Structure 1
Amino acid sequence: MTEKIRLYLADDHQILIDGLVAVLKTNKSFEVVGYSLTGENLVNDLADKNIDILIMDINMPGKDGIEVLKEFNSKGFSCDVIVFSSFDDIKLIKEVLQLGAKGYLTKQSAGENIIEAINTIYGGEEYYSKSVREKIFLSFTGKEQESATGFGGITPESITDRELEILKLISLEYSGKEISEALYISTNTVETHRKNLIKKLNVKNTIGLVKFALKHNLIHQ
């Protein structure tokens, strides 16, 4: 029997929790092990639970999602976090990603994207809803400039042909499975290349790879 993905939900609206539970129960590979309506209860409850993914709102009474993420980092909680929020402000998005969240969904898109997001993140990748991706890309291309020492002096010429192929496909929002099918390689090989690129370019995550590709116009080459 395949091991289920253990999920925990946190939002201050019971009706939204109930709706998410109903959606998630349609997938037999998921198990919702609990939920909280406040940030304080969330932190206390998770100390006694073994979960894979926390799906969490930002605005909660007692402790908001930002405070919860900071406390997770200080206590060494190991679960992955998907933030889902009514807000898609770029400053908020960047803050939660810097604090270690692996996904960000707007509540407007959560119903249609939540199952894909869970499976993607459980598979070791990151996931962002469409409007969030657009905000991130726009901030990288239109509002932020890299310093002269950005990326540790790495240039596109420092990347192998295979790495360049994978970097382009990542930037075009291909999933690991889609990249493996397009290049006729295994998903494990794709993930190895992705990790090597992150290390080589001295970035923190997939968004950092996209930022590099956009800076050097690799998407359109």
Structure 2
Amino acid sequence: MIRVVIVDDDPLVLAGLRMILGGSNDITIAGEATDGHAAISTIAREKPDVVLLDIRMPRMDGISVLRRLPERGISARVIVLTTFDTDELILTALKQGAAGYLLKDTSPGDIVNAVRRVAAGEPALSPTVTTQLIAAATKSTDDSRRRAARHLIARLTDRERDVAIAVSQGLTNPEIAQTLHMGIATVKTHVGSVFAKLEVTNRVQVARYVHDAGISAPSG
């Protein structure tokens, strides 16, 4: 049997989860709690396999409970079950050791399956949570690339920056000379300096940094 402790300050949610989980012949409800302090003592006493944990509760919130469980030597696997799906809360809960993150509009069958998966050592995330995590990871990568590119572009003088933008637009040296009103020799000098300061070996790499930095207009 999978022993579960339910933690939520809403009596209706507790009753609903009791009904959902009580209908499964491989799950038993070992205990319930309505706030964070009671949750820790109940979990420590009952030693459940899985905890369904709300985030927003009186006296102590769910994130604080997650932080304190390891300090008490409690190894129960926790599924956060909440109405809140902000990136910050999701990432914080997972970093604090949550094995799952479900929204309260998750279907009864999916909640039961999530409990089984987590009890078996697998993660359980609502589809929308998975989508947000992917988006957050992508955004983090994009932000890192943007910061790195802007750091390199900042090494350039205003004129070198203009040349770098022209290079990113696919202009040849003669075309850059005509567009920026400078001699071919001067353009070649600036292109060489751009390559050196951006630590690149070809024009495609210059274009990539200009694009990642998000600049597209001459400095003048």
What's the CA shift for 1:124? Answer: 1.3
Which of 62, 66, 89 is residue 65 of structure 1 equivalent to? 62
Give the letter for the 1:113 counterpart: D
Can you give the 5+ residue segments of structure 2 that lack an aligned partner in the other structure?
146-220
Corresponding residue of 1:53: 50
> Residue 159 of structure 2 aligns with which residue?
none
What is the match of residue 78 of structure 1? Answer: 75
For 2:18, the aligned partner's letter is V
Q: 2:95 aligns to what?
A: 98
Distance in 1 (alpha carbons) for counterparts of 2:122 and 2:143? 25
Computed over aligned residues only, the root mean square deviation of the Cα atoms, in angstroms, reads 1.6
Instruction: Provide the rounded CA distance (Å) in 2 between the counterparts of 1:109 and 1:25.
Output: 17
Give me the whole-angstrom Cα distance separating, in 1, the residues matched to 2:103 and 2:43. Answer: 24
Q: How far has the Cα of 1:26 moved from its partner? A: 1.2
Please say if residues 47 and 74 of structure 2, whose CA atoms lie closer than 8 Å, have aligned partners that are also in contact. no
AA aligned opposite 1:18: A
SS of the residue aligned with 2:56? coil
Partner of 1:7: 4
Which deviates more, 123-132 or 38-47?
38-47
Residue correspondence of structure 1 range 131-170 to structure 2 within 5 A: 131-145=128-142
Q: Is the 8 A contact 1:117 1:127 kept in 2?
A: yes
Larger Rg: 2
Deviation at 1:145, TM superposition (A): 4.9
Asked if the contact 1:84/1:110 (under 8 Å) is kept, the reply is: no
Question: Secondary structure of 1:22's match?
Answer: helix
- Shift of residue 142 of structure 1? 2.9
5+ residue gaps in structure 1? Answer: 149-221
Counterpart CA distance in 2 for 1:89 and 1:108 is: 15
Structure 1: 4+ residue segments shifted above 6 A: none
> Taking structure 1 as the reference length, what is the TM-score of the superposition?
0.62
- Secondary structure of 2:64's match? helix
Distance of 1:45 and 1:118 partners within structure 2 = 18
Identity of aligned residues (%): 30
Residue 144 of structure 1: how far off its partner (Å) = 3.4
Deviations 1:72-97 (A, max 9, x none): 12222110000011111011000000
1:47 aligns to what SS in structure 2?
Answer: helix
Aligned equivalent of 1:23, options 20, 23, 26: 20
Which amino acid in 2 is paired with 1:142? Answer: K
Inter-partner Cα distance in structure 1 for 2:143 and 2:83: 30
Using the TM superposition, name which of 40-49 and 84-93 deviates more. Answer: 40-49
